[in-house]
Chains A and B, each alone.
Chain A
């Protein structure tokens, strides 16, 4: 599979920011994940390796080191619930339980209808407005159980 031309053009610009092209690898992987189904497939890793003139295993090593990169396809929407100490003190466990209940997804898994993937994440830097989750890249903070119902209930299929 070849990378879409628009993405290649974007990467061509991105690598000019650095004295060595490889430095653009992590931002490039972000763009791939955003554009190519929410995960980094083995094919994408090979494409990235070819683009950056690296061995595929080097790209694999980077992808698997960073928690934000997914190596399997997620559901259509991703809910990342913070379970670190500040959120834990303000009810993150109840929030997580409610998120799982509302979405029908188990922690770390995707709901049977493929709509939601639910994960726990370490501190997201929203400690003073805990508890929080990230839904498809947007923070929702200072959550109550009612907020969980309202926010997730309003997500389109």
Chain B
């Protein structure tokens, strides 16, 4: 494994890492104390985050300091202000925030408190996906400890700063990971994303200024404030500084969540850190950052894992979740599963997405099961072009269109091979141990 500096998971590996006394023994909440008592003015906190170059870890990679600076001037805008934490981790392949919530919940809480100070919010909501019961309980218990210790609630650490943090449970809808869908859901409604503008900083939760940030993003904040932007920039690349949590799943020997610097070549993660493709096989394809970032051919694994390099390569860093497919796997089947997901999760507001995701699933499905037509390949592209970009309220349509374009661009031959054979040449193989042919794959073979 490469010898790079780490910080995100250093505490997570210690015993009882989720407890307040463990966290404090490691210097926890000292940064908060310094910020509140020195004090470090809210504007200075935001400036430091801007200088650090921290970019959101939820998928879009938006500069965090800049996002926080969009909150209106507190002197001119008397409305309440909110910080919402997006812990609705649902992008297929992604399970990194789960590790932070479970093993280091106080790190998240300290990040929330410092960020609330910076945007002058007195309340924060942690929106956790409903399935993460254990992780929800861990953060809730940590909050209880923090509240009892005077770290959360009225007059934090005896200062004038008061901040409440509330847990909030989602109920299984992917779309609530979209920031405006999350806000609707937090208000007790269906998770229908809102048209933008207005943006959350101007009109967010209950019509008040709101910032929505991902768990890992906020987890970075205390480190940057404590050690400085210059330190942060010693890791990663000029445009994507810092480390990130890479979850790697699929056909590798050691799947897991690993802390790596941005800009690390995907090859190093797949071949060294994750132990290479399993069973001594060859890599056929990989997905760089969650299912919406699309299948890439194995020939591209020297691409550095940062926002700009992956964009240049026709993909995205997304949530930094790599999924590896070995030579026995079928990319059409993987595409069918991914298309099914976006069909299932479309909220139904926009016809391009509601109908488009359904069509994509049907077309991928019939190709995989031996009923495809040669013109289906063009149909897939035409459908994807009709859905995105910029044709719908939110980016879910894009999330379904991008992997469609990717599989047509990189694996056209395999799509056509399915059509010509009238069946899946890999027996619908999703991977090792899944040799049972799916219905109705055998029907036309």
Contacts and interface: CB of A to CB of B under 8 A. Distances in A.
B80 interface: yes
Given A88-B334, A89-B323, A97-B436, A65 B95 contact: no
B411 to A, nearest CB: 15
A137 interface: yes
Which of A62, A65, A92 has the most chain B CB within a 10 Å cutoff?
A65
B189 A88 contact: no
B430 A93 contact: yes
A85 B337 contact: yes
Interface in A103-124: 121-124
B84 to A, nearest CB: 12
B133 interface: yes
A127 B341 contact: no
A127 B434 contact: no
B93 A86 contact: yes
B431 A30 contact: no
A87 to B, nearest CB: 9
Contact of A89 (B80, B134, B188, B430): B430
Contact of B434 (A27, A84, A94, A121): A94
Interface string B132-175: 11100000000000000000000000000000001011111110
Interface stretch (A2-10, A71-79, A128-136, A146-154): A128-136
A127 B321 contact: yes
Q: Which range contains the number of B residues in contact with the other chain?
A: 35 or more
B255 A130 contact: yes
A126 B247 CA distance: 10
Contact of B190 (A30, A52, A62, A138): A62
Nearest to B95: A125
B95 A22 contact: no
Contacts of B206: 19-20
Contact of B323 (A83, A85, A126, A138): A85
Contact of B250 (A67, A89, A121, A139): A89
A42 to B, nearest CB: 18
A125 B98 contact: yes
A127 to B, nearest CB: 4
B341 A137 contact: no
Contact of B131 (A52, A124, A128): A124
Which of A25, A27, A134 has the most chain B CB within a 10 Å cutoff?
A27
Contacts of B91: 123
Contacts of A81: none
A85 B93 contact: yes
Nearest to B164: A17
B436 A139 contact: no
B190 A27 contact: no
A128 B434 contact: no
Which of A24, A26, A91, A134 has the most chain B CB within a 10 Å cutoff?
A26
Nearest to B91: A123
Contacts of B90: 122-123, 125
A128 to B, nearest CB: 4
Which of A24, A52, A125, A137 has the most chain B CB within a 10 Å cutoff?
A125
Nearest to A83: B337
A45 interface: no
A127 B95 contact: yes
Instruction: Across the A-B interface, give the 4 residue pairs with the lowest CB-CB distance, nearest first.
Output: A66-B171, A25-B188, A68-B172, A127-B249
Given A85-B334, A127-B93, 14 more contacts: A20-B206, A29-B171, A30-B171, A65-B191, A66-B171, A69-B172, A85-B287, A88-B337, A89-B329, A90-B251, A92-B430, A123-B291, A127-B94, A130-B255
24 contacts: A19-B206, A23-B168, A23-B186, A23-B188, A25-B188, A26-B169, A62-B190, A66-B171, A66-B191, A68-B131, A86-B93, A88-B334, A88-B337, A88-B434, A89-B251, A90-B250, A91-B431, A97-B436, A121-B131, A122-B345, A123-B90, A125-B94, A127-B92, A128-B249
